Amino acid sequence: MSFVVTLRDADARLADDQQIVLRLGTDADVDQTIKASLGHFLAYRPVVVASGLDAPGALTLSVYLRNPGRPVVAYRAGPFQRWYRTTTVGHVIDAGVTIWPTDVSVEGEPLPLSSDHADLVVSARSDVLPDAYLAATKSERRRMRDNLRPEFEAVLALFDAPIAFGLPDGAQA
């Protein structure tokens, strides 16, 4: 499957109060988030290069920059996504996390809502590459994920508590 990520606009102006939406699946925990990020590490090479960095890829957290005219439920990809979390661009930037507005396409087709897609850069570390991860034993993979866990937990901690899709915007479950 061809998964392509491109930087939408390196000079995009993001408003500090703009809401960021993180969708959560039924099994969304830190370990699953790290595994998904490792699976897409190399697809971020063009974005890394366009950003002027020297790394083979990036570990990111896929999010959406919420369009104020769009209800939050529009960002739900399917019934397996039961929850979402929010934060603001300003909160993320103040924490020192880079935001890349990105377009994502699969097999040449943009993902739904690609124009609102962004990635929070968790790490551009190269000591945990997908090839090394795939070749590692189960215990070595766990150790690699454990080494990445503090970085992912720090970024995830920037978000508010989970909210169930289907509740009025901003209502807590």
Residue-wise pLDDT for 52-95, tens only, equals: 887 778 889 999 999 988 999 999 887 778 889 999 999 999 99
Distances, alpha carbon 135 to alpha carbons 20, 37, 72, 132, 154, in Å:
35, 17, 39, 5, 27
Q: Is residue 126 part of a domain?
A: yes
Q: Is residue 171 part of a domain?
A: no
d(CA 105, CA 140): 31
Q: Is residue 169 part of a domain?
A: no
Check if the beta carbon of residue 40 is closer than 8 Å to that of residue 60. Answer: yes
pLDDT value for 111: 86
47 domain residue, yes or no: yes
Domain for residue 54, yes or no?
yes
Give the count of domains, the chain.
Answer: 1
Structural domain harbouring 82: 3-164
* 25 in a structural domain: yes
Q: Is residue 104 part of a domain?
A: yes
Return all residues near 127 (Cβ < 8 A) that are at least 6 apart.
Answer: 147
Would you state the pLDDT for residue 99?
A: 94
pTM for the model:
0.86
Range 128-131 contact pairs with CB under 8 angstroms and sequence separation of 24 or more: 128/38, 128/59, 129/41, 129/56, 129/57, 130/38, 130/39, 130/41, 130/42, 130/57
- Amino acid, res. 15: A
What pLDDT does residue 29 have?
A: 73
Residue-wise pLDDT for 120-167, tens only, equals 999 876 666 667 777 889 998 888 888 889 999 999 999 999 888 876
